[in-house]
């Protein structure tokens, strides 16, 4: 019997684990596939793409920063980042005594077409917001939020839209699907 691979759009407020002693919403509330585990994490306040599998060697390669596996995020930030802030994020910033790796960063031309979040984003009439795209090859705890805060633009909403070539396309918050055989082959080809 082969391994299982599935993609899930983690909604806001869901923990990236299957159990919780405090009764908070977890992956178990959405995924009935047994034996799979998340490859990486998204914090409770973040949304977006999670890959789950029972293929331990592949999961290790996808989470080990030595393999430069890209993850793409859209972050709504408070304020409008200037070119020096974007350059700092691109070059790497220091967060918690750690210098982040260089990242792909750009300001999005318009607000992305995402479903509304169940908890509204903090709104301040006098402070505009912007959306930026960040492509990281590492995944420190709350890294995107800490990076944008380090350059003076706190993250208000964070959505992971892609893991390598896998995207949210065809999913809605709280839904999941199995990877197709061609998707699995591409994933393995890139990481074995």
pLDDT mean across residues, the chain: 91
Q: Are residues 87 and 143 in the same domain?
A: yes
Task: Tell me if 44 sits within 8 A of 22, measured CB to CB.
Answer: no
Q: Are residues 110 and 182 in the same domain?
A: no
Q: What is the pLDDT of residue 192?
A: 47
Domain range holding 80?
A: 71-162
Percentage of residues of the chain with pLDDT beyond 90 = 73
How do residues 144-182 score in pLDDT, each as one tens digit?
999 999 999 999 999 999 998 999 999 999 999 999 999
Q: Are residues 75 and 140 in the same domain?
A: yes
CATH label of the domain that carries residue 139: 3.30.70.1560
Q: Are residues 34 and 99 in the same domain?
A: no
Q: Are residues 30 and 56 in the same domain?
A: yes
Q: Are residues 21 and 41 in the same domain?
A: yes
Task: Tell me if 41 sits within 8 A of 140, measured CB to CB.
Answer: no
Q: Are residues 77 and 158 in the same domain?
A: yes
Q: Are residues 16 and 48 in the same domain?
A: yes
Q: Are residues 43 and 122 in the same domain?
A: no
Q: Are residues 156 and 80 in the same domain?
A: yes
Q: Provide the number of structural domains found in the chain.
A: 2
How do residues 9-20 score in pLDDT, each as one tens digit?
999 999 999 999
Q: Are residues 80 and 127 in the same domain?
A: yes
- 149 vs 55, 79, 153, 175, CA distance in Å? 35, 11, 5, 31
Q: What is the pLDDT of residue 1?
A: 60
At residue 109 the predicted structure's pLDDT band, cuts being 50, 70 and 90, is very high
Q: Is 82 among the residues known to form the active site?
A: no
CATH label of the domain that carries residue 27: 3.30.70.580
Considering only CA atoms, which of 69, 71, 48 is closest in space to residue 58?
69
The DSSP element (H or E) to which 182 belongs, if any, is helix 181-191
In the predicted structure, residue 41 carries a pLDDT above the cut 80? yes
In the predicted structure, residue 82 carries a pLDDT above the cut 60? yes
Burial 16-41 (b: 16+ CB within 10 A, else e): beeeeeeeebbbeebbeeeebebbbb
Catalytic, out of 20, 29, 32, 43: 43
**Cα distance between residue 51 and residue 39, in whole Å:** 6
């Amino acid at each position: 019997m082969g391994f299982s691979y599935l993609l899930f759009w983690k909604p806001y407020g869901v923990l990236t684990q299957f159990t919780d002693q405090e009764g908070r919403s977890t992956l178990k509330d959405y995924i009935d596939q047994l034996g799979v585990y998340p490859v990486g994490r998204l914090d409770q306040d973040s949304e977006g793409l999670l890959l789950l599998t029972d293929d331990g060697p592949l999961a290790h390669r996808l989470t080990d920063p030595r393999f430069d596996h890209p993850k793409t995020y859209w972050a709504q930030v408070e304020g409008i980042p200037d070119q020096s802030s974007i350059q700092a994020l691109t070059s790497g910033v220091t967060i918690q005594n750690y210098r982040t790796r260089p990242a792909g960063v750009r300001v999005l031309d318009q607000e992305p077409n995402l479903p509304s979040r169940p908890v509204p984003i903090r709104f301040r009439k006098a402070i505009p917001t912007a959306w930026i795209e960040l492509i990281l090859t590492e995944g420190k705890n709350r890294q995107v939020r800490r990076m944008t805060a380090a350059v003076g633009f706190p993250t208000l909403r964070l959505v992971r839209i892609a893991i390598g070539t896998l995207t949210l396309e065809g999913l809605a918050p709280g839904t999941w699907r199995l990877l197709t055989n061609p998707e699995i082959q591409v994933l393995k080809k890139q990481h074995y």
